[in-house]
Amino acid sequence: MTAKKTLIKGGRIVTAVDDYHADILIEGEQITLIGKELDQAQLQADKVIDAKGKLVIPGGIDAHTHMDMPFGGTTSADDFETGTRAAAFGGTTTIVDFAIQTKGDSVFNALDTWHAKAQGKACIDYGFHMIVTDMPRENTKDLIKLIDKEGISSFKLFMAYPGVLLSDDATIYRTMKVSGENGGLVCMHAENGIVINEIIQDFLEKGHTAPKFHAITRPTKAEQEGVNRAIALSEMAESPVYIVHLSCNDALQRVQEARDAGLPAYAETCPQYLFLDDSYYEGPGFEGAKYVMTPALRNKSNQEKLWSGLKMNDLQVISTDHCPFCFKDQKELGIDDFTKIPNGGPGVENRMSLVFNGGVVQKRISLNKFVEITSTNPARIFGLFPKKGTIAVGSDADIVIFNPDKKFTISAKNHHMRVDYNCYEGFDVQGAAETVMSRGQVIIEDGQHVGKVGYGSYQKRSTVNLKMGTPTSCKPESALVR
C-alpha cells in the first residue's frame, strides 16, 4: 500500500530561520517535498489543506509537563490522554514529561511505570526525562543505560522539596558528571529548599497559612542561590546544565554571567512567569491557591527582564511546567495551610497562543524566535532535532496551521485541560492553532480532535553535544553590547 499523501498549499512557512511561501508534500509520516505551486494531480495527493493567509509552523514541543503525576498528596489532574489532547488543541505535538524514580528504587521501574501511564493514551508524541532522587556511585551505570538504550538523555534533579524530591550536592554532582560524560543533560530545579523550609517554619509559627505565603516564603534569592550552585556544580562536573522554570531576574543574571563566560548553561522560562505576577496571590478567599506553583509568581518587574533574556538567547525555551490540580478538592487540600496546597498549575494548551500574542503580536520577539523557543530549541536541546522542531524534507510532519489573526478569550469554559480553572482566565489573545498534524495525520481540525487516543508514540531521544558549538550556545551579536 502506498503512503497517504497530503499537500499543504499556499501557507507561509516559518521555522527558526526561514520565512517564505511554499507548499509542503507529506507522504506517510514525513515531509517529502517543499516547493512552489506543487500540483495535487501530478503528485497524486489524497488531501489538500488550504493554508492561505496562515502560518505553517513546526508543531510545538513542550519540554516540561507533568501528566498523571503523584505529588503533594494527590495526582495531577490531566492524564496522558486528556493532557496530550489539550496540548494538541493548542498546537503542541510533542511533550517531554517526567518519570519519577522513587527513592531507593530503580530508575527502570520508574520508566516502566511512566510507559504504562502513557501507552495507549497519548494523543501526541512524547518522551520522558528521568527525575533522579537517588544515585549512589554503584548505580551510575543506570544513567548510561537510560541514555544509550532507553532514549532518556536528560535527568531532572531537585534542590527543592526536602524529604520528597531533593537531592544533595554529591548526588547532583555525580549525576552531572556521568550524564555529561555520556552526552546527557541535567535539568535542575534550582531553589534552595532547605532554607525555604526554614523560612516556611518561621511563618507557620506566626500563624501565616494563606496561599500568598507560598510566595513570601520562596524569595528570588533562594532561586538565585540554586542557579548559582547548579552552574558551579556543572562546571566542576564539566557537564552542561539546563535550569528549569526560571522565574526571575535574580536567577537569570546568574545564567547570563555563565553564558557570557562561555559555560554550557541553558535555561527555560514558562508563560506563568511572563504573564502572571505575585499580585495574583491577593485574590479573594482561597483564590490565590490557583497560583501556588514552584517557583512562585514574582514581582511584575521581572517579566520584561525574562523577555529580554529570551531575546538575547540567555533563555532558550518556553515550556509550561503543566502540572494541573483542580481548585475544588485538590488545591483545597491546603485550605488551612499553604504548604499543603499541591504545587503546580495548568498551561499546556495555552502556551503557543500566549507566547505568540505576548511575543509576536506585542512585538517583543520575531516570528522566527517564536518558533525557535516553542519548538526548535526544545528539539535541539533534548535530542529530537531535526526529526522534530522544524519543517524540512525528512522531518516528521508535525505541522501546525496557525491563524495569526484569530482572536479568542482564554477560559476554563472552553479549554480542554481536565482542570476546573485556567490561570489565564479572561486573557484576550490573538493567534491560534487551527489545523494540527502529528506525523502526517490531521489530529485537530475545525475545533475538533479527529486523531486517535493512543496514536502518540514514545520518542527515544538522542544525545546532543551541548558542551560547545551548538546553535543554542551562540549569543546574538546584539548581546555583545548588553
Smallest distance, ligand URP to C-beta of residue 385, A? 24
Smallest distance, Zn ion to C-beta of residue 416, A? 20
Does residue 68 interact with Zn ion by CB under 5 A? no
Nearer to Zn ion, 58 or 342 (CB): 342
The residue type of 218 is R
Restricting to residues 204-263, name those near ligand URP by CB under 6 A.
Answer: 245
DSSP H stretches of helix in 324-456: 351-355, 367-371, 377-381
Residues 6+ apart with CB under 8 A from 38: 7, 9, 23, 24, 25
Smallest distance, ligand URP to C-beta of residue 245, A? 6
Does residue 422 interact with ligand URP by CB under 6 A? no
Restricting to residues 178-207, name those near ligand URP by CB under 6 A.
Answer: 189
Smallest distance, ligand URP to C-beta of residue 82, A? 17
The residue type of 69 is M
How many angstroms separate the Cα of 248 from the Cα of each of 55, 148, 254? 32, 35, 11
Q: Please state whether beta strands 55-58 and 399-409 pair in parallel, antiparallel, or not at all (unpaired).
A: antiparallel
Binder to ligand URP among 23, 78, 150, 321 (CB under 6 A)? Answer: 321
Does residue 62 interact with Zn ion by CB under 5 A? no
Q: Concatenated DSSP letters for 68-118?
A: T-EETTEE-S--HHHHHHHHHHTTEEEEEEEEEPPTTS-HHHHHHHHHHHH
Binder to Zn ion among 62, 81, 225, 321 (CB under 5 A)? Answer: 321
How many angstroms separate the Cα of 308 from the Cα of each of 158, 228, 316? 26, 20, 11
Does residue 294 interact with ligand URP by CB under 6 A? yes
Does residue 189 interact with Zn ion by CB under 5 A? yes
Binder to ligand URP among 323, 381, 400, 443 (CB under 6 A)? Answer: 323
Does residue 343 interact with ligand URP by CB under 6 A? yes
User: Of 355, 362, 363, 365, which is closest to residue 400 (Cα–Cα)?
Assistant: 355
Q: Concatenated DSSP letters for 213-238?
A: HHHHTS-HHHHHHHHHHHHHHHHHTT
* φ, ψ dihedrals at 298, nearest 5°: -115, 175
Binding site partner of 343, from ligand URP, Zn ion, none, Cβ cut-off 5-8 A by kind: ligand URP
Smallest distance, ligand URP to C-beta of residue 48, A? 42
In our burial notation (b when 16+ CB lie closer than 10 A, e otherwise), range 439-474 reads: bbbbbbeeeebebeeebbebbebebbebeeebebbe
**Cell 538575547, residue?**
312
Smallest distance, ligand URP to C-beta of residue 175, A? 17
Residue 110 CA, distance from chain mean position: 20
Query: Near Zn ion by CB under 5 A, which window of 10-18, 24-32, 187-195, 468-476?
Result: 187-195
Does residue 293 interact with ligand URP by CB under 6 A? yes
Query: Near Zn ion by CB under 5 A, which window of 28-36, 77-85, 146-154, 188-196?
Result: 188-196
Smallest distance, ligand URP to C-beta of residue 292, A? 7
**Cell 480532535, residue?**
449
Does residue 223 interact with Zn ion by CB under 5 A? no
Does residue 129 interact with ligand URP by CB under 6 A? no
- 30 neighbors 36 (Cβ within 8 angstroms): no
Smallest distance, ligand URP to C-beta of residue 342, A? 8
Nearer to ligand URP, 183 or 295 (CB): 295
How many angstroms separate the Cα of 191 from the Cα of each of 75, 128, 170, 296? 23, 22, 16, 11
Number of residues that bind ligand URP (CB under 6 A): 9
Nearer to Zn ion, 88 or 100 (CB): 100
CB burial of residue 159 (10 Å; 0-12, 13-18, 19+): buried
Which grid coordinates belong to 317?
Answer: 525555551
Nearer to Zn ion, 321 or 396 (CB): 321
Binder to ligand URP among 344, 347, 431, 451 (CB under 6 A)? Answer: 344
Nearer to ligand URP, 98 or 427 (CB): 98
CA distance 454 to 65: 18
Smallest distance, ligand URP to C-beta of residue 187, A? 10
Residue 241 CA, distance from chain mean position: 16
Binder to ligand URP among 66, 177, 331, 415 (CB under 6 A)? Answer: 66
Q: Which residue is nearest to Zn ion (CB)?
A: 189
Q: Which residues bind Zn ion (CB under 5 A)?
A: 189, 321
Q: Which residues bind ligand URP (CB under 6 A)?
A: 66, 189, 245, 293-294, 321, 323, 343-344
